[in-house]
Amino acid sequence: MNVINDPFTWLAGQLVNWLSTFMPANGVSITMAVLRAASLGIFALVMFMVMTWIERKGVARIQNRIGPNLAGPWGIFQPLADGVKALTKEDITPDHADRIVYNIAPILSAVAAMIVFAAIPFGPGLIGADINIGILYILAVSGLGVLAILMAGWSSNNKYALLGAFRVVAQLVSYEVPLVLSIVAPVMLAGSLSLVTIVEKQPVWFILVLPASAVIVMLSGMAEVGRSPFDLLDAESEIIAGHHIEYSGMKFALFFLAEYVHAFGVSCIVTALFLGGWRGPDIAGVTVPWLWFFIKAVLLFNIMVWARGTLPRLRIDQLMAFNWKFLVPLSLASLIVVPLADRLAQGMGLTQGSWPWALVMLAFNVAMILWAFALVSAAGRRARMAAQVPAEVTAAESHDESGYGEEHGLAHGADAGHAPAAAGAH
């Protein structure tokens, strides 16, 4: 392994050599462990800065404007400027707010977003902690983030914050259901909860094998983070700012940080689960797995930015209906179809991980998606028919009380076509 292939392991090796010259073995291992944890945290924070820049520039270009361009070339120092602004703003604590809970909530939110990166494989040996319950750990710490929002809403002593927190928690808890159900599908195919094993079992990327589950995980992940079009949580025009209405300065910056770091975390999770993680062809003869992972994760984040800039916001009842009436039944159906197709393909003699097996699974999945869309469009057509029939009836029966139509010879309702002829005859 050389510098370009795996710069992090090389750097760690150099550091260990340098530290061993003046520290005992225990001290070296403890220092390396602390440095590893610190570098993961710093990576999360640096990616937060890059993600905010991508978001503001991307959304601006979609909306046909330029975005930040004053703080440095192309505005790349804008996140730094934002950080300085957040630090210098006055830190207000509302009256009668519960101080301990009020202060802990943003910290818990940011921490819950950042510790997701400990279980994500950035390269073949490049992982914070190779625990055997990788994806379960990630789901569990996402639940901690939900708790932090509830604490924030309650401790602000503000009924709008509380109402906002209720709605947010209802949305987040509801969207955990299709997220967990759809994450079970690649776990089933890989046979393990560990993300390292899931990445290793992807010579064919799981997005080609399980497109339905990939899309559901992406959508539920976006809803879990609270990004558009599911961003009723922090919609400025709806509920002022929801649960972080009473936070200012650095505490608000911590919530902001938590949202973007969590969004990048979701992109990394979807990359590891469905896009083959660090798998990619060699560039100029050198294998750079960490670069491929990075490229795929940033690509997924760009898709999230694209969705934010393009799609309008969903109302809370539309959100819930979409979740319970479409995503959950589809994920349950895919839970039945995926192992069925897998066993069928293996029964036909195809080995897992080969292209023919992938084509069989893809065929089953596409059939399921088409069937789901056919059901939804049939239901939509029925609803449109039901909405149209009373409209024709009411148009025929309606009459204008003001008398305007009578004076100008306009006939009632559906006879409007004959009116000009009748008026012209007089």
Segment near another protein (CB under 8 A), from 137-145, 234-242, 314-322, 407-415?
137-145
**Cα 362 off chain centre by:** 24
Instruction: Determine the length of the chain.
Output: 426
Tell me which stretch binds another protein (CB under 8 A): 35-43, 169-177, 241-249, 411-419: 169-177
Q: Which of 51, 86, 115, 150 binds another protein (CB under 8 A)?
A: 150
What residues form DSSP beta bridges with 286? 283
CB nearer to another protein: pick between 184 and 295 = 184
Q: Residue 160 burial by CB count (10 A; 0-12/13-18/19+): exposed, middle or buried?
A: middle
Please pick, from the candidates 141, 207, 218, 222, the single residue that binds another protein as defined by CB under 8 A. Answer: 141
Q: Per CB under 8 A, does 162 bind another protein?
A: yes
Smaller CB separation from another protein, 139 or 360: 139
Separation of first and last alpha carbons in the chain:
96
CB of 395 to another protein, least distance (A): 34
Contact flags string 248-287 toward another protein, x per CB under 8 A: ----------------------------------------
The interface region with another protein, picked from 12-20, 42-50, 186-194, 375-383 by CB under 8 A, is: 186-194
Q: Is 175 in the site for another protein (CB under 8 A)?
A: no
User: Does 176 interact with another protein (rule: CB under 8 A)?
Assistant: yes
Whichever of 109 and 365 has its CB closer to another protein, that residue is 109
Return the number of the residue (52 or 182) whose C-beta is nearest another protein. Answer: 182
Piece of 2-10, 191-199, 233-241, 281-289 that binds another protein (CB under 8 A): 191-199
Residue 86 or residue 190: which is nearer to another protein going by CB?
190
Tell me 73's DSSP state: G
Min dist CB 402 to another protein, Å, is: 38
For residue 191, state whether it binds another protein (rule: CB under 8 A): yes
Only one of the segments 73-81, 120-128, 144-152, 208-216 lies at the binding site for another protein (rule: CB under 8 A); that segment is 144-152
402: Cβ contacts below 8 Å, ≥ 6 apart: none
CB atoms within 10 A of CB 212: 21
Confirm or reject binding of residue 133 to another protein (CB under 8 A).
yes
Tell me if 136 contacts another protein by CB under 8 A: yes
| Residues 78-107 within binding reach of another protein (CB under 8 A) | 98, 101
Q: Which is nearer to another protein, 98 or 200 (CB)?
A: 98
Min dist CB 142 to another protein, Å, is 8
Q: Least distance from C-beta 137 to another protein, angstroms?
A: 6
**Between vectors from CA 206 to CA 201 and to CA 208, what angle results, nearest 5°?**
135
Q: Is residue 185 at the binding interface for another protein, with CB under 8 A as the rule?
A: no
The DSSP output letter for 191 is T
153 touches 256 (CB < 8 A) = no
Q: Are 40 and 117 in contact (CB under 8 A)?
A: yes
Query: Rounded to the nearest whole angstrom, what is the least distance from the CB of residue 340 to another protein in the complex?
Result: 16
Interacting span for another protein (CB under 8 A) from 140-148, 244-252, 257-265, 417-425: 140-148
How far is Cα 309 from Cα 62, in angstroms, rounded to an integer? Answer: 6
Report d(CA 36, CA 389) in Å as an integer: 66
Q: Minimum CB separation from another protein for residue 130, in Å? A: 12
**Which positions from 113 through 132 interact with another protein, judged by CB under 8 A?**
131-132
Dihedral Cα 40, 230, 299, 217, nearest 10 deg: 80
Out of 8, 43, 166, 294, point to the residue binding another protein (CB under 8 A).
Answer: 166
Categorise residue 286: left if φ over 0, alpha if ψ from -120 to 50, beta otherwise.
beta
Element (H, E) at 264: helix 250-274
3-state DSSP call for residue 283? Answer: strand
Is there a contact between 267 and 300 (Cβ–Cβ < 8 Å)? yes
- Per DSSP, the residues of 355-390 read HHHHHHHHHHHHHHHHHHHHHHHHHHHHHHHHHHHH
How distant, in Å, are the alpha carbons of 48, 56, 165, 269, 311 from that of 53? 9, 5, 27, 21, 20
Q: Which residues bind another protein (CB under 8 A)?
A: 98, 101, 131-133, 136-137, 139-144, 146-147, 150-151, 154, 162, 166, 169, 173, 176, 191-193
